Amino acid sequence: MPIHNLGYREWEGTRESGASRWTVVAGVGIRRAWQSAWLRRIAFVVWAPPLAYGVLIFVFEQVLTNNIQGSGRGMQALVDLLLPAEMAPVAQTTLAGLDGVDREQMLAAARPLLWKAVMLQLQRSQTIGMVIVVGLLVPSMISQDVRSRAFLLYFSRPLTRIQYICGKCATVMCFLLLTCTLPQLLLYIFGVLLSPDISVVAETWDLPLRTLAASATIIVPTTLLALTLSSLTVETRFASFGWFAIWIFGMAAFAVMRNVNGEASELVLRLSFLFLLFSDLSVAIFDVPSLSPHAETQFAFVVALSLICFAVIYRKVSAPLRA
């Protein structure tokens, strides 16, 4: 009797492209991660700040459009509160002498800076949530596959190493887009809806595009770095410790050595403290001049870090196949 008569049947389902195999890894990872109650709580909490910042935009727009007396001094105080200290001279230059000017001049001068200040401050607060989300989600993603030898199951299918890595990266990026990028886009939409007229879109249309660019600059290296730590050990707790240690020790080093003189020392500190590094890059992408002249060097560092992390992940994923 022929073998096919014993149980083999021709596939009758819909065949999909081999290029979409990584989506299976991503889909399984997303469903498993969403089962974490702590991850769901954090995802809920990070959506609250856009509502508060939307109220600030509403107040700004009312002050600007109604040309309230003393609005220049009031906006200066609010921008000083929102913008990082190193960008204070920019706000002072832009908002100086707004009292008494007509409505069109006030809108043209103050609105872009005010909206950028709010978007940047929201992005800084979302970065803290991003660190927690990644610390809960990523450390076990590759380390558990190494410990349980799940690679034998993954690569017994027609799945390449690049597709495996893309699936893992897509899982992380999905949650980071949900908790970091979408709240910022929601803030922009919320701000437009609360504005007195639709003319605000003509002056702030580029902010969603800048938000996407800034988010990509943060999400891609963050994802690769976290997955690298996960691939370097079979113990999830070691990967978690390494992830949080990078952020905490970087902050401690910056706090201790920030008064060291020298441009080289300042650059090293801004590269070693990831929170400040991503903040500087966001400031550059949002086109807010600052006192830090290292944006090009910092961007090159992020690109190099991403490439190195990808190379390490690829090598570690390939190791079981070479054994």
What's residue 69's pLDDT? Answer: 47
Specify the pLDDT at position 287: 79
131 domain-assigned? yes
Structural domain of residue 164, as residue ranges? 26-318
Q: Is residue 106 part of a domain?
A: yes
Residue 82 lies in a domain: yes
Burial environment of residue 299 by CB neighbours within 10 A (0 to 12, 13 to 18, 19 or more): middle
| Inter-residue contact 230 to 139 (CB < 8 Å) | yes
pLDDT of residue 39: 81
**Does residue 21 fall inside a structural domain?**
no
Number of domains present in the structure of the chain: 1
Write the DSSP string, 199-220: THHHHHTTHHHHHHHHHHHHHH
How far apart CA 164 and CA 181 sit, in angstroms, is: 24
pLDDT value at residue 307: 95
**pLDDT < 50 stretches in the chain:** 1, 68-70
Whole-angstrom distance, CA of residue 63 vs CA of residue 75: 8
Q: Give a yes or no: residue 268 inside a domain.
A: yes
* Nearest alpha-carbon partner for 315 in 30, 158, 307, 304: 307
Lookup: tokens for 217: 């600059």
Structure tokens at 21: 């195999």
Q: What 8-state DSSP symbol labels residue 71?
A: H
The Cα–Cα gap between 213 and 208 comes to: 9
Q: Note whether residue 109 is domain-resident.
A: yes
Q: How many residues does the chain have?
A: 323
Contact 84, 58 (CB under 8 A): no
Please give the Cα distance from 38 to 136 (Å, whole number): 8
Other CB atoms within a 10 A radius of the CB of residue 118 amount to 25
Q: What pLDDT is stored for residue 169 in this prediction?
A: 92
- Cα separations in angstroms, 312 against 31, 170, 229, 230, 321: 26, 18, 9, 11, 15
In this structure, is residue 15 part of a structural domain?
Answer: no
CA 94 – CA 88 distance, rounded (Å) = 10
CA angle 247, 126, 274 (to 5 degrees): 25
pLDDT at 310: 94
**Beta carbons of 270 and 251 less than 8 angstroms apart:** no
13 located within any domain: no
**Secondary structure letter of residue 259 according to DSSP:** T
Task: Kindly give, in sequence order, each residue whose CB lies less than 8 Å from that of residue 80, ignoring residues fewer than 6 positions away.
Answer: 88, 91
How does pLDDT run across 54-74, given as a tens digit for each residue? 777 777 777 666 654 445 555
